[in-house]
Every structure is written in C-alpha cells, then in structure tokens.
Amino acid sequence: MLAVLAPGQGSQKPGFLTPWLALPGAEARLRWWSALSGVDLVHLGTAAGAEEIKDTAKTQPLLVAAALLTAEHLPMHDATVVAGHSVGELAAAALAGVLSPEAAITLAGVRGREMAAACAIEPTGMSAVLGGDQDEVLAALDATGLYPANRNGAGQIVAAGSLAGLEKLAAAPPARSRIIGLKVAGAFHTPYMTPAEEALGRIAAGITPGRAAKILLSNLDGTAVDHGHTMLLRLVRQVTAPVRWDLCMETLAGLGVTAIVELAPAGTLAGLAKRTFKGVEIVTVNTPADLPAARDAIARHGTAPTHEPHPEFRVVVAATAGTFTPADLTEGDRISTGQAIGAIQTRQGPVEVAAHAAGVLTEWLAHPDDPVAPGQPLARIGGQI
C-alpha cells in the first residue's frame, strides 16, 4: 500500500521550483494558480530569497502549488492513501478529490494572508521541543501557558504561544529535551489564529466539496475522512487546532503502508517517517529527476489501474481511545450507512463506531478487547465503483 504526503510550512527552499519550469505546461499552470492565490508563484519558486518565501502569506500557496505540480507528473490514480502536514492538507484534499486544484490554491492564498494578519495582532512564536518524556513536555507547556501546536511524533513537539512563555520554556526545558526557536511569524494552530479561522470559514462555505476517492487522513486526529463536507470543516478548524501528525503516522502504520512518496519540497516528512517506520520504502521528490524513482515505487506498491469494476475500500477508524468490542458481524456481511459495527469501551462508557457508507465488511483490522487509540483503523468496508 502506497501513501503520498504533502509537506507543510518550513519545508520551502529558495529556487526549489526552478527545475520544474522546464516541464511542458508547468509555468503556465503556476501563472494560472498565481492569479487565484494572489501571489507570484513563479517568482517565489525561482527567484525569491529565503526571507521572502518565509512570509506566511506567500509560503502557504507556494507549498500547495508545489505539491500539486509535482503530483501532476505522477500516476496518482495508483496511490491509496494521501495526507498533508498543516497547509499541505489542502494539497492532499485536492489529490483525494475533495477539492479541485483551483479551490485548494485559492484557500491556501486566503489561509496564508489571514494567518499572517492574525500573527500581526500580538507578538507570538513557536519553538520545537526535541526529546524528553511526552507527558512531561506537555505538562511544561501547560505550566508556561503554551500550546502543543504540532505533535509530529519521533520525539518532536512544537510549542506555540506568547514570547514570554517561550522564554520561560527555553530557560527551564523539560528533562532530557532540547529547545529550538523557530523563525515563524506567530503561534500557528493555536487560539491566536481564531480571526484567520473565521475568515477562511467564510470563504470555504462557498465551496462544494467532492467525496474522497482515496484514504484521506486528517491532521485533527489522524482519522480517515471520506465525507467531503466533513473534511472541508476540518481544514478550516485546523487553523487553530493542533497538528496531530503523530496520529497520522500511527494510522499509516495501522493501514500497513509499505511505501511513502513525499512531494516537493520533500525531506521533512520523509525524515519523520524514517525515524518512525521500519521496512517502509521512502522516496522524496524534489526535482523532475526524482520522478522515475517515485513512479517505480508507485508501480510496485500502489493499486494497479484496471478497466474492470474494482473494490473501493473505506477505513473505519476509532474516534477515541479504549477497548474495541466488535458487533456480531462477520467478514462478508453487508453494512448499511450509519450501521454500528462495534463500540469502544471507555471510562465514560461505550462509544459507538458506525460505518459512514454502505458496503461489505471486507476485513476486521481490530479484534475483541483490543486496546485502540484515536485514529486507529478498525475495519475495511468495501464496495464497487
């Protein structure tokens, strides 16, 4: 099974799109997307310096455009799973069919401008916390009035909030941890971004999303989302909500992903994956010269295209932590939309697990009394397309 990942802010590098403009139609595509996003993507991806492309209002549409441009030169119909980190979720939603490329680029432009404006309201920032005990790190953030904006896995949590809080954290870091200040405009994925979330929501309300044609993972909790409207709401909510990339990686592992392709500008997510997964092939795509290796990985690990009707699988995932109790169903049973396929036993009581679409119970991915985490796959529901 193959997953395609779209990186987020901080992965950009000066001139990284220059070699892509040699491909037929690439420059014209970027100029069209520039008109939609309100920034000059050709200039930003080729001639702009590091300071200019660090501007949130410019970085976000640039990264979404880069991921989509890269994906246009890959056989994406063979990819099974897609996910994006932070603003990369917009690109992932487009690759899954929830958004059109034009909608994704437009939303990235709005998102970037509004988040930059929110950052200007009061001084805030972000710092990476590397290592340390996770519970101790989270407790330290809470004690200093900071938020865990990104929980990236592989021993990395990004703290965000007031500059005073970040200074306190740096002066007294949690045991066995290291603090690295990040050069960002403000506290992304925290309540400080509420004005940006509200502005993005007003624009997103005019979009008619499609249904996900691939397994699309959400940064909110690592779950697979196949309802277009639900994903659109989550994309808006993510402006102030923490990025749970750790849960996305747990879901990738639970799905049995055997290969990962990271779209340009690649490296950040591949690095996290290498420290998390064992035996998973990882391919980074930064220039057109990397395309053959990516195509080869997709051919070996992806879903081969066919002209015959083929199964479409949806993954039902856990919404909370607890112990799984499946319903009295066996593989091969017909499932209706909204039907309960089991429950998760929590300290507060049972939480029902329902199928979001009709189909056939193809495979149980969790068994009676299994401990499960939020976002963990529980079952596959198959149908015909």
The catalytic residue positions are 86, 189
DSSP 223: -
155 CB-side CA count, 13 A: 13
Provide the β-strand partners of residue 84.
6
Rg of the chain (C-alpha set): 21
CA-to-CA distance for 254 and 247, rounded, in angstroms?
Answer: 10
Sign of CA dihedral 63, 66, 72, 73: negative
Angle at 87 between CA 224 and CA 30, to 5 degrees: 115
CA-to-CA distance for 311 and 198, rounded, in angstroms?
Answer: 39
Alpha helices in 150-288 (DSSP H): 163-171, 194-204, 228-237, 245-255, 268-276
Q: Which of 238, 200, 185 is nearest to 57 (CA)?
A: 185
Burial grade of 15 (CB within 10 A; 0-12, 13-18, 19 or more):
middle
